[in-house]
Every structure is written in structure tokens, then in C-alpha cells.
Structure 1
Amino acid sequence: MSLVRISHYLALCGVGSRRQAARLIERGCVSINHQLAKHSDRVDSSTPLNICVDGQPVLSPQEKQYWLYHKPVGIDCRLLINDPSSLLHLLPAKPRLYPAGRLDKDSRGLLLLTNDGELTQTLMHPDFNHSKTYVVQVDKPLTAEFLSDMATGVSYAKVQTKPCRIRLVNSTTFEIVLTQGLNRQIRRMCQALGFKVIDLLRTKLMEVCLDDLPEKTMRPVSAAELVTLKQLS
């Protein structure tokens, strides 16, 4: 392997995406041969190095793993060891997996779990406009005006959301396809229009579907699904 930036190397090792690795370096959590790492540092796997994150040695790049998980309500996607509700406590010890994107604690549905930092980087980067599909139930009957406003984009705080696809499912439920990944975006869009989200389920990540995967379970990503994810990335 040629010399690569330390954030890229950490992503290859399954620590997280390059962006997540950069945040760890920024916080002073990463060391190389007992010296704090800098963003400009470059490493080569052919050279023996002692690389640690929060004092724990980083294993060399491992075989990539790709899993789909049906997250229930109440699980926090942040990998926080001191939080008993963290997804971290439900993942296998090895290989180290992490979610390529998040669902907030009150939402449920499809998560992609992987140790492929490069794929995670592209899936999470806003410039790639990857689609995600959700089925959303709200607290009162939907109106034509609400559906039109959601589809054309909603303003809240200092945000203007992008146009999206929306389809009525029943009087209080709609399906929405987003290409943005703003924090609690659907809930805040609904709130700005006077509606409260009762249930939020992610059903698709691009062309990969949750289907009948039971809640709290995971399965390997199929070869065909992985080809789709990588082609669209």
C-alpha cells in the first residue's frame, strides 16, 4: 500500500469513515508511535507502527464486512461505551462494525453496518445525494397542502430542505424519499408544518431494502446488493 493520510488509514482499518477518523485526530485521540497524530501524517502498512485510538491499538486492515440491521426504537447509533442504549453493545467484538449513516434514537428501520471506511465516506457525504426511503406516521390526518410543501422543500431554523418524492399511504401515513441526511430532518420538516411524527421507519437505502428482516436482527449484505451500493457510490 502506498503512503496514505492517517485518516484514510484509520478508515481502511475499520475505525470509522475518514470524516469520523479526522474528528478523532482533531480531538487528540490518535497516536502514532506514542506521538499525537496530525492530519498531515502519512502511514504505510508495510512499516511497523504503533497506532492507537484512545490508547487502544488499531489492528491492520481486515477483510471488509457488510451487514444490514433492523434497528428498533430506543437504540442510539452513536457508539458510546458508557451509554447502555448504544448500538455498540449489540455489535460483535470483531470485526469492528459501525453504521454507515444514522437513525435517531426514536426512529427504527434499516441500517448498513460495515468496517469499510471508503464506502461509508461516500454513503454519508451530502454531495453524493444518495436516496433513503422512509414510511412516516403523523398525529393527525394529512392534507394536500402538507404533501405539496414536503415535496417542494420546507424551511426551518436556517435550513431549506431539498425537493423530495412523497407518496400518501393512508390518512396519517406517507412514504418519503430523501437525498439529504440532515439531523432529525423528517421530524423537523413535519414540525415546521404543524405535524408531529408518531412513527418513523427507514425501509430502503438506495436500492437495498429492509423487506421482512425482523427487528433487532442482522443479515449479511448480498453480493448483488453490495454491487448496487458500490456502483451508486
Structure 2
Amino acid sequence: MNISLNKYISETGFCSRRMADKYIEEGRVTVNGKEAKKGNRVFENDIVLIDGEPLKKKIAPVYLMLNKPKGITCTTDLKDKTNIIDFINYKSRIFPVGRLDKLSEGLIFLTNDGDIVNKILRAGNMHEKEYVVTTDKPITIDFINKMRNGIPMLGTVTKKCFVKQEGEKRFRIILTQGLNRQIRRMCAALDYKVTSLKRVRIMNITLQGLAPGKWRHFSKDEIEEINAMVMHSSKTADSESMGE
């Protein structure tokens, strides 16, 4: 390693290069115990302190996708023997983006990037989630129309959404909100019981090529595309969790 001091400081995520220069000018930065000067360079094993405190290295962002099988719980509580964290057994700390019911299966994201989590989950940002659902009895036109146009639940009415019948007891639905157990509750309101529920897409990411129980890292292109999609998303207020 051989980089400028201000770049080294900014790459830890502590502050911008410009602010780093300001700290250096104010005599608040030391390198190996000596007061730093603008233009100093940092080499491997150098000790850089600001106000006498060591800089913490910025943790590299991790973005994973899992094809969650039934029986795994989307919780970081390690006391739960079916928790998703132990199931994936990743080398560093990650957490799920939203949730899928224990009995549901399909696509879920995991990351250590809190900013992107908030932006994806915020209800007003209208990010699509697509599901294939099987019910306990034959689906009718009336059922499809009511699901499309909104169902009263949890003190509100679900947003209008895309719903398409794909078999006698199977339909596809695309949601832009994530109320608690939304699809199951919508079906129950019409006297239907969900017998299987699988999320097949979140935003631009699909389950294609990912076997049940397997996970993989996002590709560089996928990360760039998701970042572009959430670029103008607010990360505060009006949050809903990305459940089904």
C-alpha cells in the first residue's frame, strides 16, 4: 500500500478527502506518532490516528441473494434454530432485507449495507416483488378481480396490483408494498388458504439459475442496476417491511 494520506482517510469512510485535509491542517492527524503534513503518504502497517483515535477500516459491502427453502426463519436471532444467518453461515455479519414467512420460499436479499436496505424497504419507492402462489381450492374470476383491486386488511386497503391466474389453483402476483403476511391475509379475506408461496423476483433480480437452498453474491452489473434503481429513493419515513 502506498497512497496519499487524505485518500487513505476518506477510504475508511471517516470523511471526505477535503475534510481529511482540514483535519491534517489543524494538526489533528498523526502518522506513526508524528504530526501529519498535507501530501504525506501512507504505507502498509503505518498507524494513522485522528484526535488520538485509530481509524476504523470501512467494511466492504456484501450483497447476497438466497433461494430460501421452507422452514428457514428470516431472523438474526441465533436462538432460533431455523434462523437464516446460521443457514447461510457467511463469514461476516449480514442481515436479511425484509422477510419471507417461515413456510414461504424463494428470493431474499442479505447484506451489511443499511442504506440500501432502507431504500429498498421504503413503501413509497414502489419496488416490485413477484410471487407465484398456490391455493387450497380453485381460483375464480371474482377472486382475481378482488385481489387486483384491493383487499381491506390491517386497517387499510391493499394497493391495486398485477394478478394473473396460471392454473386451476395457482396465480402470479406483483406487489409494490409489503404489509405483514400480505398475500396470505388477502387470500384469507376471500376464504382461500395459501398452500405454497414462492417469491420469484425482487426488482431486477430473479431466481433464475439459483437452486432451492443455494445463495450467491450479486454480480457487479446487478449491484450497479439496483443502486441506479434506488438512487433517488428516500431512506426515511413511510417504511414497510418487504414481507409477503
Smaller-chain TM-score bracket: 0.7 to 0.9
What does the per-residue CA deviation read over 1:168-192, in whole Å, with 9 as the maximum and x for residues that have no partner?
1111000000000111000000000
Among candidates 68, 71, 76, match of residue 74 of structure 1? 71
Range that drifts further, 193-202 or 94-103 = 94-103
CA distance in 2, matches of 1:119, 1:206: 13
* Number of the residue aligned with 1:209: 206
Which whole-Å deviations, capped at 9, do the CAs of 1:60-108 have from their partners, x for residues lacking one? 5311111110101111101111110111212335321111111011100
| 3-state SS in 2 of match to 1:194 | coil
Query: For the Cα contact (< 8 Å) 1:91–1:97, is it kept in 2?
Result: no
Against the structure 1 CA distance between its residues 141 and 158, is the aligned structure 2 distance closer, same or farther, given a 3 Å change threshold?
Answer: same
The alpha carbon displacement at 1:2 in A equals 4.1
Number of residue pairs matched?
184
Map of 1:65 onto structure 2: 62
Distance (whole Å) between structure 2 residues aligned to residue 124 and residue 168 of structure 1: 27
Aligned to 2:45: none
TM-score, normalization: structure 1?
A: 0.74
What is the identity, as a one-letter code, of the residue corresponding to 1:231?
A
Which one of the candidate residues 186, 189, 193 is aligned to 1:189?
186
**Given residue 85 of structure 1, which amino acid in structure 2 is its aligned partner?**
T
Q: Structure 1 residues 196 and 61, CA, compared in 2 at 3 Å: closer, same or farther?
A: same
Residue segments in structure 1 that go unaligned for 5+ positions in a row: 4-44, 50-58
SS of residue matched to 1:84: coil
Change (3 A) 1:116 1:193: same
Alignment of 1:210-225 (within 5 A): 210-225=207-222
1:8 corresponds to: none
Instruction: Provide TM-score, normalisation by structure 2.
Output: 0.71
Distance 1:72 1:93 in 2: 17
The C-alpha deviation readout for 1:149-175, integer Å capped at 9, x for no partner, is 000110124121000001111110000
Over the aligned positions, Cα root-mean-square deviation in angstroms equals 2.0
**Which residue of structure 1 aligns with residue 111 of structure 2?**
114
Q: Which amino acid aligns with 1:187?
A: R
SS for the counterpart of 2:166 is strand
2:169 and 2:91 map into 1 onto residues whose CA distance is: 42
C-alpha distance 228-46 of structure 1, shift in aligned 2 (>3 A): farther
Amino acid at match of 1:219: R
CA distance in 1, matches of 2:81, 2:204: 32
